[in-house]
């Protein structure tokens, strides 16, 4: 998003952003397809020395069909964590063999249903692995390893530590190997994911050592999946994972492993946030500016029902006043209209805010709309995709009928007397 020096209006690829809220209302999610392409290309280029690479987009980050189609056309596969995400991927045009199902704590029925669709299956517990070996001996599987590495910028987004519910403990590999041999299970992939917002390339290197050691024990391997967790910038002077450094390290180590073992493997990753986070902008209108004895609150027409990350993870999203690009900076605490504590940012330096001003939250492409809800019976926002300089409505704003859509009204005679 850039400020046009002639009009003094913020634009994305020539599209006036504030004008979008006048046309489609607020709050509003806006995505820039060019940023998605840039991030995907950055990752592919960083691994250019590896013969076979597969990027499986972790679609839980943002599942809009239009976003999925962009990534499909770029050549990405899909990482899905639910049967419904698989259906979304198939609807978007992904081939079943390009979708890997990486569930956690799902029922056998859901697993069986996913298998019927023909997708790859990633197993993350011993019991399910044994069930699959007993009941589907010809089904090639991937196994998810918990490497017991505490990685990531926050405890809630570190999923590879010893107390995590995700994956099969690396210390249980002797049992896995025994089951594989006894039941003649075909293991085609080995997978791990340690967490999110990982800045240090050495964390990935350490994880690679563990995964390589596990991979040596399986003869039918076709791919190794190293998950994701790359850090993106959340602030103006923030740090991000150095993808060139990462790509050089991972390429060298992966190629050496393939040469040493004589295996012709695919190197796979499953980025979500890295691909779409920076493409997204969340726009909200200021309802009120409220001075109290301790703070100046800017209250907007949204809350954690639309963007829960700041409240749930303590995530930082830069906030800009698009309506006053040259205004004097003041200190505000930006809050929402939900009847809960829903603070987007404490004591933020923002250009002077007035009622009706449009505020913009950056890095709103990942885990924002996809984690939204109808709490307080509020509607979920519309979504706009800016593609080749044109704005496209890719999800309509909800209305009251949407809140009632799945409710039933049996016209019962309910007890109305006080007991």
Which residues are the active-site residues?
Answer: 339
Residues 6+ apart with CB under 8 A from 92: 65, 68, 69, 72
Instruction: Tell me the torsion sign for CA atoms 339, 343, 349, 350.
Output: negative
Partnered with residue 57 across adjacent β-strands are 78
The tokens for 303 are 């809350």
**DSSP secondary structure string, 81-124?**
SSHHHHHHHHHHT--GGGEEE--SS--HHHHHHHHHTT-EEEE-
Q: Which of 92, 39, 44 is nearest to 366 (CA)?
A: 39
> 90 and 117 in contact (C-beta within 8 Å)?
yes
Using omega within 30 degrees of 0 as the cis cutoff, is the peptide bond preceding 27 cis? yes
Which residues lie across from 29 on neighbouring strands? 282, 383
Residue 41, CB half-sphere, CA atoms under 13 Å: how many?
Answer: 8
As given in the structure block, the two tokens for residue 5 are 């020096």
Cα 357 from Cα 323, distance rounded (Å): 5
CA 57 from centre of chain: 9
User: Cα(318)–Cα(288) distance, rounded to whole angstroms?
Assistant: 20
3-class SS shares of the chain: helix, strand, coil, % to 5: 35, 25, 40
Residues 6 or more apart in contact with residue 416 via CB below 8 angstroms: none
Q: Residue 345: in which H helix or E strand, if any?
A: strand 343-351
């Amino acid at each position: 998003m850039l400020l046009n020096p002639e009009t003094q209006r913020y634009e994305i690829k020539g599209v006036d952003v504030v004008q979008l809220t006048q046309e489609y209302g607020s709050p509003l999610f806006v995505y820039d397809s060019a940023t998605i392409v840039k991030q995907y290309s950055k990752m592919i280029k960083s691994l250019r020395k590896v013969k076979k690479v597969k990027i499986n987009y972790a679609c839980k980050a943002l599942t809009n069909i239009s976003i999925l189609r962009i990534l499909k056309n770029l050549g990405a596969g899909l990482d899905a964590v639910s049967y419904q995400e698989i259906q979304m991927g198939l609807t978007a045009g992904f081939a079943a063999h390009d979708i890997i199902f990486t569930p956690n704590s799902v029922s056998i029925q859901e697993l069986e249903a996913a298998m019927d669709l023909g997708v790859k299956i990633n197993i993350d517990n011993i019991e399910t692995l044994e069930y699959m070996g007993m009941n589907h001996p010809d089904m090639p599987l991937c196994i998810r390893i918990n490497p017991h590495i505490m990685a990531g910028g926050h405890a809630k987004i570190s999923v590879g530590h010893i107390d995590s519910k995700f994956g099969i403990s690396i210390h249980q590999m002797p049992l896995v190997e025994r089951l594989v041999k006894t039941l003649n299970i075909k293991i085609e992939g080995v997978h791990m994911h340690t967490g999110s917002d990982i800045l240090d390339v050495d964390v990935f290197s350490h994880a690679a050592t563990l995964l390589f050691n596990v991979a040596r024990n399986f003869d039918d391997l076709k791919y190794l999946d190293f998950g994701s967790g790359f850090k993106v910038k959340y602030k103006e002077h923030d740090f991000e994972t150095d993808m060139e450094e990462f790509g050089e390290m991972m390429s060298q180590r992966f190629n050496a492993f393939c040469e040493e073992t004589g295996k012709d493997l695919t190197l796979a990753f499953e980025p979500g946030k890295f691909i779409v986070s920076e493409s997204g902008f969340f726009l909200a209108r200021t309802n009120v500016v409220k001075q109290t004895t301790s703070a100046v609150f800017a209250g907007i027409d949204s809350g954690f029902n639309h963007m829960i990350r700041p409240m749930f993870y303590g995530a930082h999203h830069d906030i800009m006043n698009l309506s006053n690009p040259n205004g004097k900076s003041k200190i505000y605490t930006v809050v929402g209209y939900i009847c809960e504590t829903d603070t987007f940012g404490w004591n933020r330096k923002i250009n002077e805010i007035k009622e009706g001003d449009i505020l913009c939250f950056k890095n709103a492409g990942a885990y924002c709309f996809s984690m939204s809800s109808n709490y307080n019976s509020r509607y979920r926002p519309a979504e706009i995709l800016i593609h080749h300089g044109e704005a496209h409505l890719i999800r309509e704003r909800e209305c009251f009928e949407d809140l009632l859509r799945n409710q039933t009204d049996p016209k019962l005679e309910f007890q109305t007397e006080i007991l």
